[in-house]
Structure 1
Amino acid sequence: MSEAAPTRPQVAVEVAVNAAERDVALFVGNGFLTREVAHLADGPGTFYLFGGMGLATSVACGYREATGRPAVVLEGDGNFAMGLGGALYAPAAGPAPLVHVVVFNGHYESSGGQTTLLRTPAQVASVATALGYRHAWVADTLPELRRRLRDALEMSEGASLVCAHTPRLSPPPPRPRLDAADCTQRFSLWRQEQR
């Protein structure tokens, strides 16, 4: 029997825990992933892009440029498609590595379930390669996601992308209680403690 595809909550936890264990900032695109991370693996180094569809990569690149520190981006395939301008900048922004995790289910899940423009995880990886990412992998199983995430987090520079192929799920957890102002304040305090 073959391994099952990772679920959106499993991807959210894997990415958030790995970023926190390495004391690396995590930028989460808006949508259901924000809810998953907030309810399952929230931490002070996590910055949520409330209402900012497609902006997680741009914000993470600005963070890398300003601090010289690595960053992790977690977003859905719809956010990735909306934020190609930020993804274009990712390979060039700052010396620190950027790990970009795209959760692919083929739909704009939180805005009505419309089909995304990128039809397969391989297309997401191909776009990343064309934009200049050093590595772009597709992870179809949880062990493969863990391996590729570890590989990406061990890079010393450049941008890497892991596209986690997930099934569509039932309803997500409720919206987080943390609002944008609280998130910004908490993240700023975390950043000051890193210095």
Structure 2
Amino acid sequence: MIKVRSLINLLTKNNSNFFTGVPDSVLKELSHSLQKKSKKDHIIATNEGSAVSLGIGHYLSTKKVPCIYMQNSGLSNALNPLISIAHKKVYSIPLILIIGWRGSPRIKDEPQHNVKGKITENILKLLNIKYTIIRSNDDLKKFDKQIKIAKKNSAIVACLIEQGTLEKNKKINKKKDFYKLDKEIFLKTLLETLEKNTKIISSTGYNSRELMYLRNKYQIKKGSDFYMVGGMGHAASVALGYSISSKKKIICIDGDGSFLMHLGSIKTAGSFADNNFKYILLNNNSHDSVGGQNTYANDINFKKLSKGLGFKKFYSIKNDRNLKKNIQKFLKGDALNFLEVKVSNSKIKNLPRPTNLVKIKKVFMK
């Protein structure tokens, strides 16, 4: 294992003191260590492309090379600014990328991670980005040399870090709740309240896994689900695409991190969705499934924002008082409805993951 402090020290010794990125389960020890820094030195970005752009701006201002962290699934979000702004043949802006390598060929992982994991190195090669796979302190020394060369040549350099490489910090698992409503109670009540043919599309992370777990635990058959095991930030678009070609009621269950990642898609839903589209935001003000880092969604006025994005009615739930009645009111509303539910972090241990994804798709499409 590698100590997080060793990695951070390597970066700071190379005069890289500005960090930005999107939290990742592989890199949660890194992002939690960075949270001790000031807001001028560390920014949690809403998506990976924005993180790269923040880094570019920092370099233009200071001439210092920024460090950008992300999961390899988010590397695709970062491609546009990496290629069209920072690339050697465009503005030649040096950047350091720290990439959590889900789906590494050496480590068993979920289907969606295996697909991206197998091509991650090829993507970096296509971008002509030199990289080091960090598994030992010797690899850190190799990465140090690559950083120095990249700085000299005004180029982008990256490292890949696999699950289990960074030494664990036990304090990370002790996540603090920003809100109090138990998410399991809300989701169970929602499932029990559904009309028979309702369709649910749920965002990646704990939301989909909890939904599947609770259906099985309580044997709730009403409605059917499509679990977004990947594609963070795209649940609303998938739900919208389904809703405009169907008369069935479709519910999008999203998270605050996912909502913020591709906020423009919520505006598209607000502009084009019919009344059969119902949007539920489970807001716990954290990236719950990757370590509980702050999303800073707590200071957003979702009532004003949802109205500005085109939703006709806004509903809010923050406790279990009259829970079923409030859910029914939201679901039966004859307008384009937005519901913010202020929930605590997940309390369910050892959540299962969806398997046999093709079967899940076929059942959903019946």
Contact (CA 8 Å) 2:199, 2:251: kept in 1 or not?
A: yes
Contact (CA 8 Å) 2:303, 2:314: kept in 1 or not?
A: yes
- Secondary structure of the 2:280 match is strand
Instruction: Give the letter for the 1:161 counterpart.
Output: F
Is 1:33 the equivalent of 2:211?
no
The match for 2:313 is 135
Query: Which whole-Å CA distance do the structure 2 matches of 1:80 and 1:7 have between them?
Result: 20
Is 1:101 the equivalent of 2:280?
yes
Contact (CA 8 Å) 1:99, 1:153: kept in 2 or not?
A: yes
Q: For 1:127-166, what aligned pairs fall within 5 Å after superposition?
A: 127-157=305-335, 159-166=336-343
Instruction: Give the letter for the 2:188 counterpart.
Output: V
Change (3 A) 1:101 1:144: farther
Contact (CA 8 Å) 1:39, 1:173: kept in 2 or not?
A: no
The match for 1:13 is 188
Instruction: Give the letter for the 2:182 counterpart.
Output: T
Query: Which whole-Å CA distance do the structure 2 matches of 1:113 and 1:5 have between them?
Result: 15
- Secondary structure of the 1:66 match is coil
Change (3 A) 1:172 1:131: farther
Structure 1 unaligned regions, length at least 5: 190-195
- Secondary structure of the 1:92 match is helix
Contact (CA 8 Å) 1:57, 1:86: kept in 2 or not?
A: yes
How far apart are residue 171 of structure 1 and its match?
A: 5.2
Contact (CA 8 Å) 1:61, 1:94: kept in 2 or not?
A: yes
Contact (CA 8 Å) 2:283, 2:297: kept in 1 or not?
A: no
- Listed one character per residue, the Cα deviations across residues 73-126 of structure 1 (whole Å, up to 9, x for unaligned) are 112211121232221122333433222111111101112211113224x52333
- My pick for the range that moved more, 159-168 or 138-147, is 138-147
The match for 1:83 is 262
Change (3 A) 1:46 1:77: same
Query: Which whole-Å CA distance do the structure 2 matches of 1:153 and 1:17 have between them?
Result: 12
- Listed one character per residue, the Cα deviations across residues 8-58 of structure 1 (whole Å, up to 9, x for unaligned) are 111222223333x34211111111111111111255621111112111111
Query: Which whole-Å CA distance do the structure 1 matches of 2:294 and 2:190 have between them?
Result: 25
Instruction: Give the letter for the 2:183 counterpart.
Output: R
Which residue, 248, 252, 255 being the options, matches 1:73?
252
Which residue, 251, 274, 298 being the options, matches 1:119?
298
- Secondary structure of the 2:252 match is strand
Query: Which whole-Å CA distance do the structure 1 matches of 2:226 and 2:191 have between them?
Result: 11
Give the TM-score taking structure 2 as reference length.
0.46
The match for 1:188 is 365
Give the TM-score taking structure 1 as reference length.
0.82
Structure possessing the higher relative contact order (Cα contacts under 8 Å, 6 or more residues apart): 1
Contact (CA 8 Å) 1:11, 1:103: kept in 2 or not?
A: no
Query: Which whole-Å CA distance do the structure 1 matches of 2:263 and 2:234 have between them?
Result: 9
Q: For 1:37-56, what aligned pairs fall within 5 Å after superposition?
A: 37-41=211-215, 43=221, 45-56=224-235
Change (3 A) 1:127 1:62: same
CA RMSD of aligned residues (A): 2.3
The match for 2:162 is none
- Secondary structure of the 2:230 match is coil
- Secondary structure of the 2:254 match is strand
Sequence identity percentage: 20
- Secondary structure of the 1:91 match is helix
How far apart are residue 145 of structure 1 and its match?
A: 4.2
The match for 1:59 is 238
How far apart are residue 144 of structure 1 and its match?
A: 4.8
Larger Rg: 2
How far apart are residue 186 of structure 1 and its match?
A: 1.5
